């Protein structure tokens, strides 16, 4: 598999439910970031978790990182219709290296 | 912080023509980047620009591509002779950890 693969590729849930997206990567990282992209728009930075962190929270977002398994998950609690978007994980190496993006999960929240 | 502004939002060009995509980071960040996203595919790294020099470039960033920061605030990506496969969304970004991306330029090569 490639660096930064996400599953599922697409996820549809009812408003109010929780959404979980997963990301796997292959190489050593300095940090892992999650971005959101509304259709045809730019990428919005959501949260960054460093390689020495295991869990991080920001509002309704919860990110976990397991460096032994080279995987991360993004949990969005109490989903809203406005959360409908594509979500990408991106890994970053050391020394301000480039971001390597995953394939993304397209999340649809059904009102 | 102020947003990253990209112009134009959409450009249609004939194959073989030169295009210049513009980005205004409006900040004192030292690191700037160009990424592209072919429709329905991953976001791919093109080039990073540090302290007014290219610091890293991908295999995609061949001799047809160039970047400049001509006046200290604008940041441009030039494609000298566009190909059909250059059709994509092009994003500039600034930052070090946790980027701020522009809203993108949709380039369509016909």
Extents of the domains making up chain A:
5-110
Domains of chain B: which residue ranges?
A: 5-109
For residue A105, pLDDT over 70 is answered with yes
* Nearest Cβ partner for B42 among A33, A92, A103: A103
Residues of A in contact with B48 (CB under 8 A): 96, 98
For residue B50, pLDDT over 70 is answered with yes
As a CATH number, domain A5-110 is 2.60.40.10
Q: Looking at residue A34, what is its pLDDT?
A: 96
Q: Looking at residue B72, what is its pLDDT?
A: 72
For residue B26, pLDDT over 80 is answered with no
Give which of B31, B98, B4, B87 is closest to A56, Cα–Cα: B98
3-state secondary structure B38-105: CCCCCEEEEEEEECCEEEEECCCCCCCEEEECCCCCCEEEEECCCCHHHCEEEEEEECCCCCEECCCE
Q: Which CATH number fits domain B5-109: 3.30.565.10, 2.60.40.10, 3.40.50.720, 3.40.630.30?
A: 2.60.40.10
Instruction: Note whether B31 contacts A: Cβ–Cβ < 8 A.
Output: yes
């Amino acid at each position: 598999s490639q660096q930064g693969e996400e599953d599922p590729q697409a996820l549809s849930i009812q408003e109010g439910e929780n959404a979980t997206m997963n990301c796997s990567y292959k190489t050593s990282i300095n940090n892992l970031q999650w971005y959101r992209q509304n259709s045809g728009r730019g990428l919005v930075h959501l949260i960054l978790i460093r390689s020495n962190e295991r869990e991080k929270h920001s509002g309704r977002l919860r990110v976990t990182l397991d460096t032994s398994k080279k995987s991360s998950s993004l949990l969005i609690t109490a989903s809203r219709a406005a959360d409908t978007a594509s979500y990408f994980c991106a890994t970053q190496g050391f020394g301000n290296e480039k971001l390597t993006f995953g394939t993304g999960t397209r999340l649809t929240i059904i009102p | 912080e102020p947003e990253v502004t990209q112009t134009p939002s959409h450009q249609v060009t004939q194959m073989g023509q030169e295009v210049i995509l513009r980005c205004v980071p409006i900040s004192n960040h030292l690191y700037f980047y160009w990424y592209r996203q072919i429709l329905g595919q991953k976001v791919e790294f093109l080039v990073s620009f540090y302290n007014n020099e290219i610091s890293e470039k991908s295999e995609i960033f061949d001799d047809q591509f160039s970047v400049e920061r001509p006046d200290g605030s604008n940041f441009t990506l030039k494609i000298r002779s566009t190909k059909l496969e250059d059709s994509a969304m092009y994003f500039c970004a600034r930052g070090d950890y946790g980027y701020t991306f522009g809203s993108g330029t949709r380039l369509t090569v016909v």
